[in-house]
Amino acid sequence: MVDALGMTASAAAFGLVYGLAARQGGFSIVEMLAMSVFVLAGAAQFAAIGLVSQGVPWVAIVLLTALLNARHLLYSAALAPWLALRSRLQRAAMAHVLTDETFALTLPLFRRLGRADLRGYWIASAFIVPPWIIANLVGYLGGQGIPDPYRLGLDVVFPAAMAGIAVGLISGRRELVAAGVGAIVAVGVGFFAGNAVGIVAGGLLGPFAGLLVPGRLAGDAGPGAAGAAQLPSEAGDDPGLGLAD
């Protein structure tokens, strides 16, 4: 809960700007809230507002926002081994509230405990999703009284939060290389092909670059290394409980 407080501040500030942007983009309050409840993807929601305002066809909007949100495929893949024994309904509900912040809070928690902690996951989500939606309402209803968000520096909240998430997830040289290469590729490609394409390119090439780092340099002592014990076993959520036990 303490770890989540900083993420709550980030989500609230970002949500405030989104509510204001939705109002300026001509969205009704119902449309704005529906997007936050059913889509629940901050950066993609911002992109959608701009695209809708420009009259872009809906098929193109769906494709572009899907590219922008492709990073959630990586989040889901990272969490999937920990939740393999959970029901499809549970996983579907968890997937809906899988935000950048929720992922950053729960994956280290799972690793630290050596098992999936559903209560911890939902606590993390509760500190992110409701503040986001409440801030949306405040931004929409009272946004006209807020000075230019760029003058307040609120535009830097999201990239700053993402940088903090990346730092928190770096546990070795491989992660450091993956994050560095991913950031460089994303920014570089984004300048020429757009942010959505840059994010996908960075998300794909960064991990590959990390895998090229030799195991010895990455701190891997071999199959029996402590890092290998970070994944849950087939026998349950606890990586220390194998089938042989």
Q: What is the mean pLDDT of each run of 10 residues along the chain (245 residues)?
A: 82 86 90 92 86 87 84 88 93 93 89 92 93 92 66 64 69 81 86 75 81 63 41 47 36
pLDDT at 216: 55
pLDDT at 136: 92
Cβ atoms 206, 181 nearer than 8 A: yes
In a domain, 239, yes or no: no
Same-domain pairing of 160 and 193: no
In a domain, 82, yes or no: yes
- pTM of model > 0.85: no
**Which domain range does residue 181 map to?**
171-226
Q: How far apart are CA 69 and CA 3, in angstroms?
A: 24
pLDDT at 97: 94
**What is the 3-class SS of 206-240, one letter each residue?**
HHHHHHCCCCCCCCCCCCCCHHHHHCCCCCCCCCC
Q: Which residue has the tokens 């280290």?
A: 108
Same-domain pairing of 97 and 189: no
Same-domain pairing of 22 and 101: yes
Same-domain pairing of 156 and 93: yes
Same-domain pairing of 140 and 183: no
Same-domain pairing of 57 and 128: yes
Q: How far apart are CA 39 and CA 17, in angstroms?
A: 17
Q: How far apart are CA 191 and CA 208, in angstroms?
A: 22
In a domain, 20, yes or no: yes
What is the identity of the amino acid at 73?
L
Same-domain pairing of 157 and 219: no
In a domain, 245, yes or no: no
pLDDT at 79: 93
Same-domain pairing of 182 and 110: no
Q: How many domains does the chain have?
A: 2
Of 149, 83, 93, nearest to 116 (Cα)? 83
Q: How far apart are CA 46 and CA 50, in angstroms?
A: 7
Same-domain pairing of 68 and 161: yes
pLDDT at 234: 42
pLDDT at 81: 94
Of 35, 37, 33, 30, nearest to 47 (Cα)? 35
pLDDT at 226: 40
Q: How far apart are CA 79 and CA 110, in angstroms?
A: 9
